[in-house]
Structure 1
Amino acid sequence: MNALNLYDIEDLRFESTASPEVKAADDIVIRVKIAGICGSDLSRYRKLGPYVKGMTWGHEFSGVVEAVGENVTHVKPGNRVAACPTIACGICNSCLKGFPSQCNHLSVIGAKQPGGFAEFTKLPARNVLPIPDSISMDHASLVEPSAVAAHGLYLTSLQPGGTVAVLGCGNIGLLSIAWAKLFGASAIYAIDIDPKKLELAKQMGADVIINPLEVAAHEQLSSLTEGDGVDVAVESAGSPLTSAQVFALPRKGGEVVFMGIPYGDVSIERFYFEKIVRNELKVYGSWNAVSSPFPGKEWTTTIQKMSTGELNVAPMITHRLPLREGPQAFHDIIHQKDFYGKVLLDPTQ
């Protein structure tokens, strides 16, 4: 089969590789229809991370069941599916306590085992979820990042009528905005320095957009909220700078949830750090998208909300390319050859 395989920093190759086969009783082989490029893929492409040289890459995708093991009963060949790429061991203390996102042996396909940037991929049965015909394959490929955003907000105590600020309007930030709306937020503030991302944020449900290049984000937010701040602040930019600045956004007693990963040391000025203590903030780290019972309500709710059209991811999708153009797409994205939202790769073209 054809696949995108990673060999080194910025060394991604479109080449022929062995197709996966059903070997275990709970195996499901999926014919990939659409695969999405994740921000973590871009980071690994530039800086590497956990991977095996020559590994088939990618973890956001949708497809059709090709073959199943003898114990698989919930799907059959020909069924349309989304897939949770996270492999939790199920036997460590965290898994047994119902926190698979904290699994001691957590892994994701596309790092140390073959992923979804290919014509076929393979997962255990419990990682594969049927999707209704009302969800297109393009949209179904965004079930995974949608579940990531939902997982983070589920950690908070956000209630209908609450207020949310999202710092960083990349794909996870945009999906956090959409979920905040579905959670019933009465006001959603989108913060980014890129006007095009802020425009997408408005399409995804943001009520107010803030560009901190004009005036500091917390100053603008304070003015807009009469000095209160918001109930929940989401850090989804993943930069060392914003990882400190986010603490100035919540109200007293408010919450901060980190969904971005800063690939560098975070130095927090006293002004921002004191907000944690003096405002008695609650701070959450959000990792991956799974909960118990595995893979969790993040997945079932995402599929349900997509099926009704309440969760509309269409505005995020800016590019749809053949899989064979993957190496060039990654090069162009990191060198900012265009404005990129969610980029989808099609192995069938």
Structure 2
Amino acid sequence: MNDVKAAVLYAKDDIRVEEMSVPSLEPHEILVKVKATGICGSDLPRVLGDAAHHYPLVLGHEFSGVVEKIGIGVSRVKVGDRVAGVPLKPCFKCHDCASGNFAQCKYYSFIGSRVNGSWAEYVAIPEINALPFDESISFEEAAFVEPSAVALHALQLIQFQGGEHVAILGGGNIGLLTLQWVKILGAREVTVFDIDDERLETARALGADHTINAKNANVDEDWKTITKGKGFAVVLETAGSDVTMRQSFDISANKAKVCFVGTPVRDLTFTPKQFEQLNRKEFTLTGSWMSYSAPFPGNEWELTLHFLKLGRLNFKALIDRTFPLDNINEAFDLYRKPGSVKGKIMMLND
């Protein structure tokens, strides 16, 4: 095979689409011909800021494609299989890995941030990181398995069992995936908060019982009316905003479960009175990190494919636009204009 195309990050705001060598395969690795790959919110500070681990680097960790070649010892998949990619590469040897806590592995690598990823025509991955799926699922949908697993992992972490009134702070991709999962798992009612009316409209189309534009002056009155003054039994913060993280303390009910799914990008401060709500309400606060459980990669991934095949998950509604890989810089031009991106931007290869 000749050299292949990849979008290579050389420095802050410097992506070049160029030819590079076909990734070589180690034992138990496979070569995947990438068909669809997404841009994650975590990729933005790597491209538009200084958060990349090293340069040059091919980003991309949400992807699907077709197995093009298999390495020595591969037995789980075969050439021609359609697969969704799992980006985490745990060591499988440390205490955390032995306990099934792969996301807490201190010696991990990660496809698309530590090693070259899927913003390319081909990517090499361990065979255990490939999840086969059939033709009833499109490549674009399969590229959503990773963020969907992130949403489901948070719910499994807090042992969500349905029946509660749920608040989701943030109507971005993770928020709208979380919305779909809490509906599947039996939430009594769901309220989505965001500052963008188009995202809130999408949330309603995906089953939100209530939506609140957090920019409105009467936002506190709105949520108190919806919950009859009690607050929400489950609060899932998915935006990674210091504002919504503080807000989660305000809107939670007594004895609530509050989960921070979003990753903060600024310092987070509370007044003593704000933070005291953690004590007074005796709510449980936890963070959620990535999307993995035992056996690797976890049933978060298998359940996503299962419910996707059943038609219970709608990923197509979350796709904002698609671009060929050659036009990746056009995609990032949109991110430079606040409010221009309303959902997932995805790159497609022929």
TM-score by length of 1: 0.96
TM-superposition CA deviations, 1:4-62 (whole Å, max 9, x none): 111121111111111112222x1011000000110001122222224221111111011
State the distance in 2 between where 1:218 and 1:70 align.
Answer: 60
Output aligned runs, 1:155-234, within 5 Å: 155-215=157-217, 217-234=219-236
SS of structure 2 residue aligned to 1:55: coil
Q: Which residue of 2 aligns with 1:137?
A: 139
Output aligned runs, 1:278-297, within 5 Å: 278-297=280-299
The 8 Å contact of residues 191 and 217 in structure 1, kept in 2 or not, is answered as no
State the Cα distance separating 1:216 from its structure 2 match.
5.6
Q: Which residue of 2 aligns with 1:51?
A: 53
State the distance in 2 between where 1:45 and 1:269 align.
Answer: 34
State the Cα distance separating 1:146 from its structure 2 match.
0.4
Q: Which residue of 1 aligns with 2:113?
A: 111
Output aligned runs, 1:21-60, within 5 Å: 21-24=24-27, 26-60=28-62
Question: What RMSD in Å do the two structures reach over aligned CA positions?
Answer: 1.4
State the Cα distance separating 1:147 from its structure 2 match.
0.5
Deviates more, 1:52-61 or 1:213-222: 213-222
State the distance in 2 between where 1:48 and 1:147 align.
Answer: 27
Q: Give the aligned residue type for 2:40.
A: C
TM-superposition CA deviations, 1:63-104 (whole Å, max 9, x none): 000111232222100010001101111111111111111111
State the distance in 2 between where 1:201 and 1:107 align.
Answer: 34
TM-score by length of 2: 0.96
Q: Number of aligned residue pairs: give it.
A: 347
State the distance in 2 between where 1:210 and 1:272 align.
Answer: 21
SS of structure 2 residue aligned to 1:209: strand
Q: Does 1:333 align with 2:335?
A: yes
SS of structure 2 residue aligned to 1:174: helix
Structure 1's 48 and 203: CA in aligned 2 closer, same or farther, altered over 3 A? farther
State the Cα distance separating 1:318 from its structure 2 match.
1.5
Q: Which residue of 1 aligns with 2:262?
A: 260
State the distance in 1 between where 2:12 and 2:287 align.
Answer: 28
State the Cα distance separating 1:107 from its structure 2 match.
3.0
State the distance in 1 between where 2:85 and 2:138 align.
Answer: 14
Q: Give unmatched runs, 5+ long, in structure 1.
A: none
Q: Which residue of 2 aligns with 1:5?
A: 8
TM-superposition CA deviations, 1:268-300 (whole Å, max 9, x none): 133431221111111111111111110001000
The 8 Å contact of residues 90 and 105 in structure 2, kept in 1 or not, is answered as yes
Q: Give the aligned residue type for 1:189.
A: T
Q: Does 1:82 align with 2:84?
A: yes
State the distance in 1 between where 2:64 and 2:107 align.
Answer: 25
State the distance in 1 between where 2:85 and 2:112 align.
Answer: 13
State the distance in 2 between where 1:212 and 1:219 align.
Answer: 11
Q: Which residue of 2 aligns with 1:241?
A: 243
The 8 Å contact of residues 334 and 341 in structure 2, kept in 1 or not, is answered as no
SS of structure 2 residue aligned to 1:56: coil
2:18 paired residue among 8, 15, 18:
15
Identity %: 39
Q: Give the aligned residue type for 1:268.
A: F
Q: Give the aligned residue type for 1:267.
A: T
